[in-house]
Amino acid sequence: MTRKGIILAGGLGSRLHPTTLATSKQLLPIYDKPLIYYPLSVLMLTQIREVLIISTPDDLPRFQALLGDGRQLNMSFTYATQKEPRGIAESFLIGADFIGRDPVTLILGDNLFYGDSLAQRLATAASKPQGAAIFAYWVPEPGSFGVVEFDRNGRPQAIVEKPEHPNSNYAVTGLYFYDNDVIDIARSLRPSARGELEITSINQIYLERGLLTVEVLRRGVAWLDTGTADAMLDAANFVAAIERRQGLKIACIEEVAWRLNWIDDEGLQRLAEPLKNTSYGRYLIDLLRRSSDDPFSPTVALRGRYRTPSPTAE
């Protein structure tokens, strides 16, 4: 079986009005690249090459213009509409034919993850043949999220959607790993009081079946939810600080595909050429130069592209 990926990039973006009155927030820039690059790169790091992008009828053509069919990255992008925001869990009904009989990973289009151990965490979650895996992150004000409650032994015992009085500070992030049963579970749901099919309901069902794993993201991993103007600014400043300090880009999808050997040097060069007058394009071109000149450079691709064993390898 091949794990499929879904990016839910719909919604009205009402908390960002008037900026999002004419475009999707997932098309807005976080520093030097569109927001959707960040969740897409997470799916790529999970070794997912078939991705369904769900958005509104108005915004979907813009995503298609940005990302195409994925062949440039040796991937496959499919598109589907969510006419109205009826809940995150509706993604599995919209994407049922796309998912087929495979497991699936869903990520929200406005989530940004960053950390040294992230790839290993993703691989662990994706390797589970049965059940579900979600990620929890400590936040100071958890009432705006789905919240995981743990028992004294650290085992999850409940997941509560936006509790008025949270019993835990661990919010459920917008990244979910499921086996194929999620489609039937989603079909069994009834709309909540706010008229949505709740992802928390799906997670609670897996929990009650004893098939839910909760991975707690510690301090070494950053999770940013870009739902407000302040949050988007914070995310942009975070990315800018990391990229300027290290000289390495976060969520550069062309680089990720190259590092994973999905595209070769010529493929990366073709993608860089139209962008050569931008700092982003020059970065891609510089990747090729550095890989040729210095096999120990941190910009040399991981997993199989080191010409000699390197102390910088993951």
pLDDT tens for 49-106 read 999 999 999 999 999 999 999 999 999 999 999 988 899 999 999 999 999 999 999 9
Q: What is the pTM for the complete model shown?
A: 0.92
Helix, strand or coil, per DSSP, at residue 186: helix
Residue 90 lies in a domain: yes
Q: 97, exposed or middle or buried, with CB in 10 Å at 0-12, 13-18, 19+? A: exposed
pLDDT average, residue stretch 151-160: 90
pLDDT for 172-184, tens place per residue? 999 999 999 999 9
Statement: residue 302 has pLDDT above 70: no
Statement: residue 144 has pLDDT above 90: no
Residue 238 lies in a domain: no
Residue 89 lies in a domain: yes
Residue 256 lies in a domain: no
Same domain? For 200 and 312 the reply is no
Residue 305 lies in a domain: yes
Q: What's the pLDDT at 225?
A: 84
pLDDT average, residue stretch 7-36: 90
Same domain? For 47 and 161 the reply is yes
Same domain? For 31 and 93 the reply is yes
pLDDT average, residue stretch 280-306: 65
Same domain? For 132 and 209 the reply is yes
Helix, strand or coil, per DSSP, at residue 288: helix
Residue 310 lies in a domain: yes
Statement: residue 301 has pLDDT above 60: no
Same domain? For 17 and 94 the reply is yes
Among candidate residues 159, 162, 153, 191, the one with its CA nearest the CA of residue 176: 159
Beta bridge mates, 215:
135
- The residue with greater pLDDT, 178 or 220, is 178
pLDDT for 101-128, tens place per residue? 999 999 999 999 999 888 899 999 999 8
Structure tokens at 169: 């500070």
Q: What's the pLDDT at 306?
A: 30
Structure tokens at 218: 């510690």
Same domain? For 17 and 107 the reply is yes
Give the domain extent around 144: 4-231
Same domain? For 82 and 163 the reply is yes
pLDDT average, residue stretch 288-306: 53
Helix, strand or coil, per DSSP, at residue 289: helix
Q: What's the pLDDT at 67?
A: 98
Structure tokens at 63: 């995503």
Question: Tell me, what CATH number does 32's domain have?
Answer: 3.90.550.10
Statement: residue 259 has pLDDT above 70: yes
What is the distance, to the nearest Å, from the Cα of residue 207 to the centroid of all Cα atoms in its chain? Answer: 22
Beta bridge mates, 134:
176, 214
Could you tell me the pLDDT band of residue 293, with boundaries at 50, 70 and 90?
Answer: low
Task: Give the integer Cα–Cα distance in Å for 301 and 258.
Answer: 7
Beta bridge mates, 8:
54, 108
Strand pairing class (111-115; 221-225): antiparallel
Statement: residue 130 has pLDDT above 90: yes
Residue 9 lies in a domain: yes
Could you tell me the pLDDT band of residue 154, with boundaries at 50, 70 and 90?
Answer: confident
The number of folded domains in the chain is 2
Structure tokens at 203: 């997670």
- The residue with greater pLDDT, 18 or 240, is 240
In the chain, pLDDT over 90 holds for what percent of residues? 76
Structure tokens at 117: 């151990």
Q: Are 199 and 147 in contact (CB under 8 A)?
A: no
